[in-house]
Amino acid sequence: MNGIQMVDLKTQYERLRHRIDPAMSEVVSSCTFIKGPALKEFETNLANYLGVKHAIGVANGTDALQIALMALDLKPGDEVIVPSFTYVATAEVIGLLGLIPVMVDVDINTYNIDISKASSLVTSKTKAIVPVHLYGQSAPMEDVLAFADKHNLFVIEDNAQAIGGDYKMSNGTPAKTGTLGDIGCTSFFPSKNLGCFGDGGALFTNDDDVAAKIRMIANHGQPQKYLHKVLGVNSRLDTLQAAVLNVKLEELDDFATRRQAVAAAYDDAFENIEHIVCQKIPAYSNHVYHQYTVRITNGQRDELQNFLKSRGVPSMIYYPIPLYKQEAFSKYHNDIPHEVTEQLCKEAISLPIHTEMESNTQDYIINSIESFFEK
Ligand SMILES: *Cc1c(COP(=O)(O)O)cnc(C)c1O
């Protein structure tokens, strides 16, 4: 079978272009490229969707994380706890600001931060924690919040992979992922669950002062034009991207449903394959499947990947090397190795999943995997 992709952006665009093209066209014909009406509209729509007071568009998800740390007034030398199994951006911005990323291991069932291992990492310099909602399901937020409360830490949620996901509090109250900490951050990179046509990102918060500060920092530190209160950055979400996102936000729940159907078919098929262990979904979270990622427990993950490649089935290893083993982080003397992160780097493999998966394509992928394990 030809042309199987990890993510099929083209077919999704074809399906939605009758709504996206006019929205983009309106921005172009009105030349409202910077801070245009579609951006304001999107920020309002996103805040309403998430149930937060403020959503602020920025240039990308990495900037969102950086601006969040800046808005909370963290100072060089302050320590920030992050999981060691995540995309580099989460820890990179911490180091860039002169803060110290302190890495903590993750849980083998959910692949998310293991709070039980975080207490021993707290020092008098620890000021914040950045849980990552990896692959599309929430970190254990009530545990994170209780931990943060106990140690007086800010909580910045890296929601780049789980936008649209649902968290359920232990008392039954629902919340969207990314809205429980002090600041939530997300990315609109094209392949993310809510993706635009280039780079984009956003921060969300319920705190009016923090929101004002985020806006100021993202705009060269100016509360008003030519008055520069702090050193800031130039990080904007283009109006064109906001126009695309306004259309796609209306589809976000449907996107999740489509991804969940693909995941359910994989789950069913893999139930009887001894060496495949699927990600566990905890009671407090649903899963919006930015990635469908399983563990291959017989040591043949890389062989499986090569076999699938030979059959035209792409797959990805997110992430092959623990962050603390990356040269960029060598100076932080993180407490290594982390048992679960090491294991996931060797065992995890992500399979094609997106909003346009055809059942015959998925059958082919599943048959290919089955035949590998029947060899
Ligand atoms: C994609 C991603 C980011 C960064 O977003 P960009 O828009 O690419 O800068 C940060 N954290 C996680 C977990 C991500 O998946």
Distance 178 CA to ligand 1 centre (A): 14
Residue 228 buriedness (CB in 10 A; 0-12 / 13-18 / 19+): middle
Q: With beta carbons less than 8 A apart as the criterion, state whether 128 and 102 touch.
A: no
Kindly report, residue by residue over 199-210, the tens digit of the pLDDT: 999 999 999 999
Q: Is the CB of 156 under 6 A from ligand 1?
A: no
DSSP calls for 203-233:
EEES-HHHHHHHHHHHBTT-SBTTB--S---
Give the largest Cα separation in the chain, rounded: 69
What pLDDT digit, counting tens, does each position of 128-162 carry?
Answer: 999 999 999 999 999 999 999 999 999 999 999 99
Asked if residue 65 lies in contact with residue 93, where contact means CB atoms within 8 angstroms, the answer is yes
Chunk the chain into consecutive blocks of 10 residues (it has 375) and report each block's average pLDDT, rounded to whole numbers: 92 98 98 97 98 98 98 96 96 97 97 96 97 98 98 98 97 96 98 98 98 97 92 98 98 98 98 95 97 98 98 97 94 84 98 97 97 89
What tokens does 114 get?
A: 């293991």
* Distance from C-alpha of 333 to C-alpha of 306, rounded to nearest angstrom: 35
Burial class (CB in 10 A: 0-12, 13-18, 19+), 235: buried
Judge if the beta carbon of residue 206 lies within 6 A of ligand 1: no
Ligand 1: which of 66, 189, 319 to mutate, most ligand atoms within 8 Å of CB? Answer: 189
CA distance 245 to 69: 25
From the CB of 87, is ligand 1 less than 6 Å away? yes
Distance 240 CA to ligand 1 centre (A): 20
- Ligand 1 pocket, 62 CB below 6 A? yes
- Residue 365 to residue 9: CA distance in whole angstroms: 19
Look up residue 79 and give its two tokens: 């320590």
pLDDT at residue 1, rounded to an integer: 76
Q: Tell me the two tokens of residue 328.
A: 């960029």
Say if ligand 1 is within 6 A of residue 57 CB.
Answer: no
Residue nearest atom 2 of ligand 1, based on CA coordinates:
160
> Domains plus CATH for the chain?
9-249 (3.40.640.10), 252-373 (3.90.1150.10)
Identity of residue 82:
V
Dihedral sign, CA of 36, 49, 157, 291? negative
Is the Cβ atom of 187 under 6 angstroms away from ligand 1? Answer: yes
Q: Is 137 in the pocket of ligand 1 (CB under 6 A)?
A: no
- The confidence score (pLDDT) of residue 333 equals 73
Among candidates 11, 56, 19, which has minimal Cα distance to 248? 19
132 close to ligand 1 (CB < 6 Angstrom): yes
In terms of C-beta density within 10 A (0-12 exposed, 13-18 middle, 19 or more buried), how is residue 152 classed?
exposed
Residue 90 Cβ contacting ligand 1 at under 6 Å: yes
* Residue 160 CA to ligand 1 centre (angstroms): 5
